[in-house]
Structure 1
Amino acid sequence: LLESTYGDRDHRSLADTLDEFRQALQAASRSGGNVLIPSFAVGRTQDILYWLGRFHRDGELPQQRVFVDSPMAIEASEIYASHAGLFNHDDPEFNRAIEHGWQAWLPILSYSRSTEDSMALNQVQGAVIIAGSGMCTGGRIRHHLKYNLWRRDTHVIISGFQPRGTLGRRLVDGVRRLSILGSEVAVRATIHTLGGFSAHAGQDELVHWALGMRDTHPRVYLVHGEVEAMEALQGRLRQEQMRVEMAEPGSRIAI
């Protein structure tokens, strides 16, 4: 079984992704609006906090306030910090700081634990707000989108895959009006899509991984992808003389 989330494309390099991240933050600072980052609670939020801390320490983060507004993400972040010894050691400055918690790495970070803390962010401008869910299908991010999408100075940074049918996908596709929490909201905010943070492999990586087993003549079944992505990956692997099929819902395969 081979996943195919990004079977039809490759990711931008991390360097290009970080450049776009910086540019989005700088554009939001110039306009004075908030930066909303829908984020998965485990893994993605911590990646974003790492890079915001790196930008802050390097003088590249114009915003002066960062909020994590997700009880699950807050708890997960604290668990990460409590196991600081397990991090890679390619950034010694981070390793030293994280032993004392995320605020030691990013001093302008605040946690919005309660509902009241979250609601208070409706009055905030010029901040970075990280909230779940990552696909905007639930969680506190929907409230922030409701109160900020209609503002031209708002910037929304999409850092993860957005499947069809999700609110996040509609934002990526450029919809101009949305129904959120019972209200019709005009979308005047600028939407940025960062591909380089994804934990899913791009097409070249998927092909490279599959070719490592080519000598065993496997039967490859593609799963976890939209039809276009699966078809593209299937075609690419068949060019390499591999036997590839697209798994379908409800199908049974004898192994």
Structure 2
Amino acid sequence: MRINFHGAAHTVTGSQHLLEINGKKLLLDCGMYQGKRSEAYARNLNFHYDPKSVDAVILSHAHIDHSGNLPNLTKQGYEGVIYATHATKDIASVMIADSGHIQESDAEFVNKKRAQRGEPPVEPLYTKEDAEEVAGMFVGVKYEEAFEPIPGVVARFYEAGHILGSAGVSLEIEEKGKQIHFWFSGDIGRYKMPLLRDPVLPTRADYMIMESTYGDKSHSDPELAFLEFKDVVKRTVERGGKVIVPAFAVGRTQEIVYHLNQMMYNGDVPRVPVYVDSPLAVKASDIFKKHLDCFDEETRKFVEESRHPALDFNMLSYVRSVDESKALNERKDPMVIISASGMAETGRVVHHIRNNIENPRNTICIVSWQAPDTLGRRLADREPEVRIFNEIYKRKCDVATIGGLSGHAGQDLLVKYATAVKDSVKDIFLVHGEEKQAMTLKGLLKERGMSRVHYPGMHDGVDVL
């Protein structure tokens, strides 16, 4: 058996790990590398193996840095099956199609600039049509149900608690007369997060590929973060303002909706209109409602006691048209608007910020990490003026930043996850983390007697038999 690390190695994006077993090739994830435009395009376009030679794909979850390069894989000749949980199958189909639309739009924008300079046009990495073809290749599998992706390998999905449908992957492998238990963590979630069940720890593994995103720090309690959010909503609404929340369409949006549902049901905040204004978030929310089996016991209890769904309540509206979205900016009454993108760079949320940033009654609530040079980061840094659509706006509104809502496990849970297989594991390979985070985690595991921990480089290969 050979493990090849073709993505999320020495970086936090582009998950892609190729296993060679019994003369077959099994790909774990096929994520899009996200970085500088020119570098990302080249990395995503050029595989370090022949896609035609891959026999099966297993997808841990739907986030684009794990699923987003599947259309390019199929464009270049992959014709097999993509195994995923049923919820991942549904969400990934929507997210990849949305990504295809973005690829086309980005190429169209770049080509206008290139034409002005007399340069030849570039092709999109893939199109929405390419992405829609991938949807037909998914095979949905239940959690903990055994399936055989390639001969000699029995696979199972276990709850990862990261986003709806996310999973750790267990592989029971028979090769050359030997039995191997292999575990791929995917992205590990957190305890006590809304809606989702807690992540399942591995019970046994000879070899494990594990994420290390927050290997250098633990998170604060998510319940404290939502208490902060409650205070933001309460004080903004009481002064007659709007709360604008830039939020990622899958996961964070649904968590916030659920907590607003609880807050208003319990009378913790005034009952005001709540709008989810993002086409992708609306589609994703519809998928969440189809997969109630993925919700945790607390959510199911709330639904039973309050007698209405977790992601639907009287004050909530899902905005489906551009005209409906524009109408929100004409209104002056208090409300909450949750809209994509999470870093306020694109989408309808930019228009909501532009129309509300100069009103001191309003609050822009930042609920996730913001990359440098994004509008979200400039708002989080409380810059007095920001440029939106090439015009300068004075920031007169309040800005609230809520930490502690990351969907990734913190250092404490990563250590617990790895030490769960301390008695059986021969090697652990840390991926999906920058060097500082991974090496800090490696040091902590060494202190606990786990010396066989590695941090493989991009395109490294390791023989484990």
- The TM-score normalised by the length of structure 2 is 0.48
SS across alignment from 2:268: coil
Q: Residue 212 of structure 1: which of 390, 404, 420 is its match?
A: 420
Question: Hey, what does 2:336 align to over in structure 1?
Answer: 128
Among 311, 318, 322, the residue aligned to 1:111: 318
Aligned counterpart for 1:177 among listed residues 358, 372, 385: 385
Alignment of 1:1-255 (within 5 A): 1-84=209-292, 86-90=294-298, 91-95=300-304, 96-98=307-309, 102-103=311-312, 106-125=313-332, 126-215=334-423, 216-225=425-434, 229-230=437-438, 232-240=440-448, 242=451, 251-255=458-462
Paired AA for residue 131 in structure 1: S
For 1:132-159, what per-residue CA distance to the aligned partner results, in whole angstroms no more than 9, with x for missing partners? 1112221111111112223322212222
Q: 1:86 to 1:201 in 2, by over 3 A?
A: closer
CA contact 2:214–2:433 (8 Å) conserved in 1:
no
User: CA contact under 8 A between 1:68 and 1:111: conserved in structure 2?
Assistant: yes
> Which has the larger share of helix?
1
Shift of residue 55, structure 1, vs aligned partner: 0.6
* Alpha-carbon distance between aligned partners in 1 of 2:210 and 2:380, rounded to the nearest angstrom: 26
Contact 1:68 1:129 in 2 (8 A): yes
* Letter aligned with residue 208 of structure 1: K
Shift of 1:190: 2.6
**Change in CA separation of 1:6 and 1:36 when aligned onto 2, cut-off 3 Å:** farther
CA shift in 2, pair 1:142/1:228, >3 Å? farther
Higher strand share: 2
User: CA 1:165–1:246 in 2, change beyond 3 Å: closer, same or farther?
Assistant: farther
- Residue pair 2:248, 2:340 contacting (<8 A) in 1 also: yes
Distance 1:6 1:173 in 2: 22
CA distance in 2, matches of 1:173, 1:49: 25
Taking the aligned partners of 1:34 and 1:179, their CA distance within structure 2 comes to: 21
1:246 CA drift (Å): 5.2
Counterpart Cα distance in 1 of 2:432 and 2:297? 35
Quick one: which amino acid aligns to residue 114 of structure 1? S
CA RMSD across the alignment? 2.6
Over 3 Å counting, the alpha-carbon distance change for 1:231 and 1:153 in structure 2 is farther
Q: Percent identity?
A: 34
For the structure 1 residues 192 and 11, does the alpha-carbon distance in structure 2 shift closer, same or farther, using more than 3 Å as the test?
A: farther
Letter in 1 for 2:432: V
SS at match of 2:259: helix
**Please, which runs of 5 or more residues in structure 2 have no aligned partner?**
1-208
Distance (whole Å) between structure 2 residues aligned to residue 210 and residue 36 of structure 1 = 39
Q: Of the two structures, which has the highest relative contact order with CA contacts closer than 8 Å and spacing of 6 or more?
A: 1
* Greater Cα offset, 106-115 or 171-180: 171-180
